[in-house]
Structure 1
Amino acid sequence: MKTLVRYGYVPFMLLAINGAGIAIAASGGSKLWLLALLLLAIAASFTAERVLPYREDWNTPHDDDRRDAVHAAVNETLTLGSVAALPVLTAVASIDGVWPHDWPFILQVLVAVLVADLGITLVHLASHKVPALWRLHAVHHSVKRAYGFNGLMKHPLHQTLETAAGVAPLVLLGLPTSVAYALALCVAVQLLLQHSNVDYRVGRLRVVLALNQAHRFHHLKWAGIGDVNFGLFTLIWDHLLRTYSYDPERRFSSDDLGMAAKPHYPNGYLAQLAEPFRPSGACAADEPQPETMSEQAHPASR
């Protein structure tokens, strides 16, 4: 069973779940089937984490399970709302005749994934450099364990900004609503995979796909050191931006995660919504970086 999870979990999520979602969206099937697929993906994520955890202790709630469930519900609702608004947006803002409607549906989804990935990567990068954006993004970096639901644990304003950055170029291109629904499912599945507490393997694809092996480096708590691997779907843009980092020998624990500058970030949902607007929300770095990793550092306020 562990071997099945180690090598089969990622293909199941990327090919089976996403593939079924793309087929449903292409055929115009009920969106309730997409919701069912999302619930199946969440169930698969939690099951895999218990069969083959990267760290056993990350399967134990750190007084964060209910909070993360609220974050997930709110942010997924925002995503669905943005997809529902697409017909109006594309009617007003799109450039006629640009979207490749005659391409196979799966290729249209892949185009949407790559375009959205670039927009989200750039806003993600800016969120580590621009203080006002970092205040909002810090909510996500307050986590002390990495498990599936962490990917949906974001301040709703930051979630909105990232979604807008990923979707706005697609709206201009005339993104069809059916492709947008498939993309929304792909995003949710990717966030589950990227933060998953599963010790899975993808071989050399870890250099290209933005999965948990690379994304754990993004959650290192020291200023600058965690400013790497910003991609949501791929690491292509990180390679081009020279923000890619990976060390196959590195192991992680809760002591490596969070924010060194603010180890006691508010833990409750409402407190996290309010924190970016308080003076303390700036989280100015005041802890020295470990010497062994200083060469990886980039200027940032964490």
Structure 2
Amino acid sequence: MHRILVRYGYVPFMLVGVNGAAIALAASGASELWLAGLLPAAIGCSFAAERALPYEADWNSPAGDGTRDVAHAAVNELLLLVSVGVIPLLAATVTVADLWPRSWPFALQVLAAILIADLGITLTHYASHKIGVLWRFHAVHHSIKRFYGFNGLMKHPLHQTLEMSAGVAPLILIGLPVDVASALAVTVAVQLLLQHSNADYRIGALKYVLALNEGHRFHHLKWAGIGDVNFGLFTLTWDHLLGTFSYDPTRRFTSDQLGMAAKPDYPTAYLAQLAEPFRTSGACASDPPAQEKRPSSRR
């Protein structure tokens, strides 16, 4: 019974339940500490779902990366919370025009913020696979060898800052309220947990619209070019428009297909990963093997 609940109920619980709680708390003017408290709760739910119904059982076991992943998550979630705290200062100095639809229902305002942020984050993500200096920092995220929820929070802090800035800057320019920003920060964390989840959940036809784990696994294939698909954070809308959407229901993923083929010995320790983009060895690119084909978009 619990497996069925996870398979069909986990995603609605996180998207509607946890995000809904964040929206309700932000709308009520609750302290940011209450919102921050939702993050460990969401992480706990992520781990529980992955153990109840794993896609790949081995991905639930640390492979010398547990402490590192905790460090990445702690730093990056702190950055998210700090970014929310500086929004009032930024809004007071860089807002071009107060065009924010404050008369809309609060939940609708958050949804609008999600959709606008999704564009900036997706395009930055796309650029990070095309521009060498950006790839150096993004490569930290692609060094993973197992695919589980915490991986979504494993990013170089400079790249995390860049992505979030690209997503939030347009919002600030049009007068993003801090309470909407607070709810948005929680939805980003929840989305990253879901997108990289090892839980074998199902969302039906929504996998062609929402950027969740069934599609995002293709993005982590280790061969350059082949993994340049499904860049969206919240939705796959922009991937469909960019021609980068890909999905093959017959493909099964293992650790051997993850990581970076051109850099199998990428540093695994936290501090070493922070330093790697600044080293000569931080550059990383290779052509996909001839026998590999880009995953098809067949439905």
TM-score by length of 2: 0.97
Residue 75 (structure 1) shift: 0.6
Q: Which residue of 1 is the match for residue 289 of structure 2?
A: 289
Q: Which residue of 1 is the match for residue 122 of structure 2?
A: 121
Report whether the alignment pairs 1:208 with 2:209.
yes
Contact 2:218–2:295 (CA under 8 A) maintained in structure 1: no
Q: Which residue of 2 is the match for residue 130 of structure 1?
A: 131
Stretches (4+) displaced over 2 A: none
Paired residues for 1:155-166 under 5 Å? 155-166=156-167
Q: Which residue of 1 is the match for residue 240 of structure 2?
A: 239
Shift in alpha-carbon separation, 1:10–1:290, aligned structure 2, 3 A:
farther
Contact 1:206–1:214 (CA under 8 A) maintained in structure 2: yes
Residue 283 (structure 1) shift: 1.3
For 1:26, the aligned partner's letter is: A
Paired residues for 1:1-302 under 5 Å? 1-285=2-286, 288-293=288-293
CA RMSD of aligned residues (A): 1.1
Q: Distance between the aligned counterparts of 1:80 and 1:117, measured in 2?
A: 18
Shift in alpha-carbon separation, 1:201–1:76, aligned structure 2, 3 A:
same
Residue 62 (structure 1) shift: 1.1
Q: Distance between the aligned counterparts of 1:200 and 1:61, measured in 2?
A: 21
Contact 1:223–1:289 (CA under 8 A) maintained in structure 2: no
Contact 1:148–1:195 (CA under 8 A) maintained in structure 2: yes
TM-score by length of 1: 0.96
Q: Distance between the aligned counterparts of 2:185 and 2:98, measured in 1?
A: 23
CA deviation profile, 1:185-231 (whole Å, cap 9, x unmatched): 00000000000000000000000000000000000000100000000
Q: Distance between the aligned counterparts of 1:284 and 1:96, measured in 2?
A: 42
Residue 65 (structure 1) shift: 0.8
Q: Distance between the aligned counterparts of 1:244 and 1:294, measured in 2?
A: 11
For 1:59, the aligned partner's letter is: N
Q: Distance between the aligned counterparts of 1:9 and 1:295, measured in 2?
A: 27
Q: Distance between the aligned counterparts of 1:247 and 1:295, measured in 2?
A: 6
Q: Which residue of 2 is the match for residue 299 of structure 1?
A: none
User: Which stretch shows the higher mean deviation, 122-131 or 95-104?
Assistant: 95-104
Contact 2:220–2:258 (CA under 8 A) maintained in structure 1: yes
Equivalent pairs: percent with the same residue? 69
For 1:164, the aligned partner's letter is: S
For 1:38, the aligned partner's letter is: L
For 2:163, the aligned partner's letter is: E
Q: Distance between the aligned counterparts of 1:295 and 1:70, measured in 2?
A: 33
Shift in alpha-carbon separation, 1:95–1:144, aligned structure 2, 3 A:
same
CA deviation profile, 1:29-58 (whole Å, cap 9, x unmatched): 122221221111111000000000000000
Q: Distance between the aligned counterparts of 1:284 and 1:42, measured in 2?
A: 32
Q: Distance between the aligned counterparts of 1:294 and 1:164, measured in 2?
A: 31
For 2:125, the aligned partner's letter is: H
Q: Distance between the aligned counterparts of 2:193 and 2:294, measured in 1?
A: 30
Query: Is there any run of 5+ residues in structure 1 with no aligned partner, and where?
Result: 297-302
How many residue pairs match? The answer is: 295
Q: Give the secondary-structure state (helix, strand or coil) at the position aligned to 2:293.
A: helix
Q: Distance between the aligned counterparts of 1:32 and 1:90, measured in 2?
A: 22
Query: Is there any run of 5+ residues in structure 2 with no aligned partner, and where?
Result: none
Q: Distance between the aligned counterparts of 1:137 and 1:269, measured in 2?
A: 14
CA deviation profile, 1:44-102 (whole Å, cap 9, x unmatched): 00000000000000001011111000000001111111110000101111133311011
Residue 137 (structure 1) shift: 0.3
Contact 2:96–2:173 (CA under 8 A) maintained in structure 1: yes
Residue 284 (structure 1) shift: 2.9
Residue 295 (structure 1) shift: 7.9
Q: Distance between the aligned counterparts of 2:203 and 2:175, measured in 1?
A: 34
Q: Distance between the aligned counterparts of 2:104 and 2:227, measured in 1?
A: 39
Contact 1:71–1:154 (CA under 8 A) maintained in structure 2: yes
Q: Distance between the aligned counterparts of 2:294 and 2:33, measured in 1?
A: 49
Q: Distance between the aligned counterparts of 2:46 and 2:224, measured in 1?
A: 30
